[in-house]
Structure 1
């Protein structure tokens, strides 16, 4: 599996284009906006976009979903159903944060812990990691030791928990009990900022490092 990170929206959210090297079939994770930039990356990489995958339904991650799905006839998979209230609130979110008007949508498939999603010959494992939002999921590609963690974990930080139905203790538990056991060598793409590894965060992250456990 190959990937390309495409920063989008004023929040510089890490939208990620993933594709299967054998079939050139692709998925886009968290198309929050700037759809022309996303579509240009698809053309530049010479891949065929099949579906949208969502870690959670905050505006900077999901704002462009309905428009992109309609324009390119893509299926939408994720997030977990507990984020449905965030999807229904997307128009309000767009007004609150000064984003262009966005549409509400219904995913073709809600995801839950233990599910898998696929495109081409690539299979991603779905890990439910609530705390930032209740329906937040992480996508994990075991063969390349890569995780797309949305706003659960960042280099040197963790996701906010002061939004509706966020919970700090739940978030910490998600990171320590669901992500870190995957292995120190796992590279992860966060929702914002640079990539890191779970091992690096276990050593240095002031919120979830082992010495603070």
Structure 2
């Protein structure tokens, strides 16, 4: 891939801080990470719905949905997974710059890639939300029957089975999704945002 040359960053007339002031709340990315079936998308969408009900500008970036469009050219090799996360990080940064709270629901299995995304953001803007759920519970849920296919060898490089998942070492928020209801998980996340004066 040839990198573009002769390009210059164009400063916007309206700043991120001005957008936040008009919105009446901060902006950040809630970066949900965890195994398939852990509850990432369910909790991320529930958080987003609660924010919307309180007139907070929000948006959800979901792993499967992104692979239908922006990242439909990527597979699931380590290289493609890394590129998937890099692109999402850049998109999430644009949402944060626009004054929104963006929730992202991606397995994002590798610590190094998540840390690279974190570096795109100012302090306090990247909030890693680890949806901690035991593998056996994720397999029991298996809403898309992906674990079954992976166990049969029909899906290669599947996280948790034939490809590793590196859990966060110091996430801002840890949700024990096997123990908490969706409502309890949402309340924990919203309380964190209140404590950090994002909302």
Q: Which bin holds the TM-score, normalised by the shorter protein?
A: 0.3 to 0.5
Larger Rg: 2
TM-score when normalising by structure 1: 0.32
- Compare the two structures and name the one with the higher helix fraction: 2
- Compare the two structures and name the one with the higher strand fraction: 1
Asked which structure has the greater RCO (Cα within 8 Å, sep 6+), the reply is: 2
